[in-house]
Amino acid sequence: DYDRGRRERFSPPRHISPQHKRMRRDCFCASLQEFLLNMEDSVDETEAVKRYNQYKLDFRRQQLQDFFLQHKEQEWFRSKYHPDDITARKAESLAALKTRLSVFLFLLDNNWLDNMSLDMDHAPAIIKLLDAAVIKMEGGTDLDLQVLEVPAAPTASVGELSAGGGGEKSQGDPSGGSVSGHSSEMNRSRTEETTGGDTGETKDSDKVRTRRKERGKEREKEAPPKPRPLHLTTSLFIRGIPPEVSKEEITALCRRYPGFLRVALSDPQPERRFFRRCWVTFDRSVNIKETCWNLQNIRLRDCELAPVVNRDLCRRVRSVNGLTHHKPVVRNDIRLSARLVHSLDQRGELWAGQMETNPVLKNITDYLIEEVSAEEEELTGASGGNGDDTGTKDPASSSEVTVETDEKLLKVLDRLLLYLRLVHSVDYYNFCEYPAEDEMPHRCGLIHVRGPLPVGKITAAEVSEHQRMCEERLAPLLSPSETLSEDEAAKLGKKDPEQEVEKFLSANTQELSKDKWLCPLSGKKFKAPEFVRKHILNKHGEKVAAVRQEVEFFNNFLLDAKRPALPENKPLPPPAQGATHTEILTSCLPLPAAPPGVPGFPAQSPQQQSLLGYPPGVRPPMPGGAPPYPPNQFGAGRGNYDNFRGHLGGGGGFPGKQRNNRGVRGDPRSIIEYRDLDAPDDLDFF
């Protein structure tokens, strides 16, 4: 009894069967033999590989179709590929881009960018510039910008008040204005309410409340408007949102709480069942912990939100290698950033595609042409060669050079980098674009700038390596979105709208008897199929249009070279030279379909199984005969129990040490081991 209780405490009961029954390893060996036996004897290795390639193509085509049908109704998928959602999203992004452009031009015209240098020595000024941009993006006025001129007061937790020597200061009031006048008014009101009690007279509480509201409105009218800290927000973070939950549902739920501003959702994560991360932004004046507590036990589509408070950014200005101060590096950065500005402006349809219209690109070629003293060096004999033709290494690549700075070039570069950061949300020195930044809690959060100058000298090899690295990491931003070629798309099953319409018409033209045809869409009968066709095109045009739209929907997904997909398993190493027919086929076969509920394996149709030569219902073999199920499928709690306890005839426990089979407290009886006969045979004991 003691031993049985100990087992149940540290491992799940063995009588509970798993959700999916594991298959024995020898079943897969039989399936492989059956596959080889069903093939003709005349099939050589070349023909076998050809059949496999065709099977693999059909398998991938079916994968894409199944993935599309599985996710087509989910919001994240429709926003990426559905024609209507693409149009709406493009209009929203273009409007947000134009708003950011107008903010940048405002800052440029009002001298906010003058004397702005993107290095760590100017971090406070950079943060102030980012906050000013956010205030304008939020619809703030010039008065609201004055909040940045007030020194920041020490902040307490959200919703709390910090007592000062001359009065009280609220966290939501960055100006730190005294509220002693308001306190005196409140004390006066309380005195008026309680005076009647001392004299034995009572006053109507409604009249007192009404008079208090009127006085408050009068004070608001008389008091001058205060700048609003629109750049300060507070937010909640939700770790996992199911893919079937839409952004509108989360917005409708969180809008019931005061101070709600917006919702941001990340792209789905295939390795986490396409769950998404979520940020809910509120006004800075709300008690975010109370809102978080109210959302703790709320379920949305049987999913607990479980939010947590999102902390503010700790380091908004971060430094990169000080080599970026070097003049050749700066000139190269000007060239790359100018290309990036031009490319993103064309993609966002800004400036009507005219490069000279953008003020940051005005006369940019003057700073891209390098000037050298080649003639003087030639006459004085100071010119160095680039190495001979014998393949020897250029000695100049390892020579040390002094870091050379050019303030004029740095000013031109900083103007370009600020344009990229404020307009296109591109952090140049971090080589990345912050997606959907306008929906995040911080609309201009991080920025990377130049670090301190390198100590000592640098080598020419370091400079060239840094420039090469910059071009490689910026290549994804400079290149347009990747799409498949027509040939590759046709192989993967690209659909023709007219052919799909013909299939739709044929499927809805049913013959009942001679000279009697039915349209199932309306239930009407006709004498000939051409009348049914004409009826559907005239009376059910919206359904025909829906078919064409569905085809465009699928083709948009298919043509995306970076389309989402299930995470792939690591491929097996290629077969060795001189491998046999069986070894080649075994190494080439893909992973078969897993039962519902086991992630990581796509579905497989009976038609695909017949392509390999085995009948429907017989599972294809795994490479090497391994089972398609992950280890420890009994769920959490079992852990590495079998390896610790040991297998049949094995010692288990620690390596190199025989397990003690005496039982508990010297009991000579050995522990009885139970083993599932359907479990994989890790040891060859059959």
Distant-in-sequence, close-in-space partners of 281: CB < 8 Å, separation ≥ 6: 233, 234, 235, 260, 261, 262, 263, 264, 440, 441
What torsion, rounded to 10 degrees, do the Cα atoms 509, 513, 515, 518 define? -30
Is residue 602, in this structure, part of any structural domain at all?
yes
Instruction: Measure Cα distances from 251 to 92, 295, 300 in Å.
Output: 17, 13, 12
Q: Is residue 519 within 8 Å of 508, Cβ to Cβ? A: yes
CA angle 93/95/98 to nearest 5° reads 110
Q: How far apart are CA 423 and CA 100, in angstroms?
A: 5
Q: How far apart are CA 24 and CA 597, in angstroms?
A: 19
Which token pair is 460?
A: 């020419």
- 114 residue type, one letter: D
Is residue 338, in this structure, part of any structural domain at all?
yes
Query: Directed axis angle between helix 83-109 and helix 407-423, to 10°?
Result: 140
**Are residues 322 and 338 both part of a single domain?**
yes
**What values do phi and psi take at 209, rounded to 5?**
-65, -40
Q: How far apart are CA 481 and CA 483, in angstroms?
A: 7
Is residue 492, in this structure, part of any structural domain at all?
yes
The per-residue pLDDT for 186 is 42
**Are residues 362 and 463 both part of a single domain?**
yes
**Are residues 333 and 468 both part of a single domain?**
yes
**Are residues 411 and 515 both part of a single domain?**
no
**Are residues 625 and 660 both part of a single domain?**
no
**Are residues 473 and 330 both part of a single domain?**
yes
**Are residues 439 and 534 both part of a single domain?**
no
CB-side exposure of 649: number of CA atoms within 13 Å? 6
- 196 residue type, one letter: G
Q: Is residue 48 within 8 Å of 633, Cβ to Cβ? A: no
Is residue 594, in this structure, part of any structural domain at all?
yes
Is residue 198, in this structure, part of any structural domain at all?
no
- 3-state SS string over 162-225? EECCCCEEECCCCCCCCCHHHHHHHHHHHHHHHHHHHHCCCCCHHHHHHHHHHHHHHHHHHCCC
**Are residues 304 and 325 both part of a single domain?**
no
Is residue 520, in this structure, part of any structural domain at all?
yes
Residues of the chain with pLDDT under 70: 1-29, 31-39, 151-204, 220-222, 353-356, 370-374, 376-377, 382-398, 568-686
Last residue of a domain, one of 292, 310, 328: 310
Q: Beta 317-320 vs 447-450: how paired, if at all?
A: parallel
- 3-state SS string over 138-165? CCCCHHHHHHHHCCCCCCCCCCCEEECC
Last residue of a domain, one of 509, 530, 559: 559
Closest CA to 115 of 418, 445, 452: 418
Which token pair is 103?
A: 């903010």
**Are residues 499 and 580 both part of a single domain?**
no
Last residue of a domain, one of 267, 284, 310: 310
CA angle 468/472/478 to nearest 5° reads 125
Closest CA to 399 of 444, 464, 341: 464
**Are residues 440 and 555 both part of a single domain?**
no
**Are residues 464 and 341 both part of a single domain?**
yes
Is residue 621, in this structure, part of any structural domain at all?
yes
CATH code for position 244 = 3.30.70.330
Q: Is residue 333 within 8 Å of 428, Cβ to Cβ? A: yes
Tally of structural domains, the chain? 5
Domain hosting residue 584, numbered range: 21-60+573-630
The per-residue pLDDT for 351 is 82
For the stretch 214-222, contacts whose Cβ atoms lie closer than 8 Å and that sit 24 or more positions apart, written own/partner, are 215/185, 219/185
Is residue 609, in this structure, part of any structural domain at all?
yes
**Are residues 543 and 433 both part of a single domain?**
no
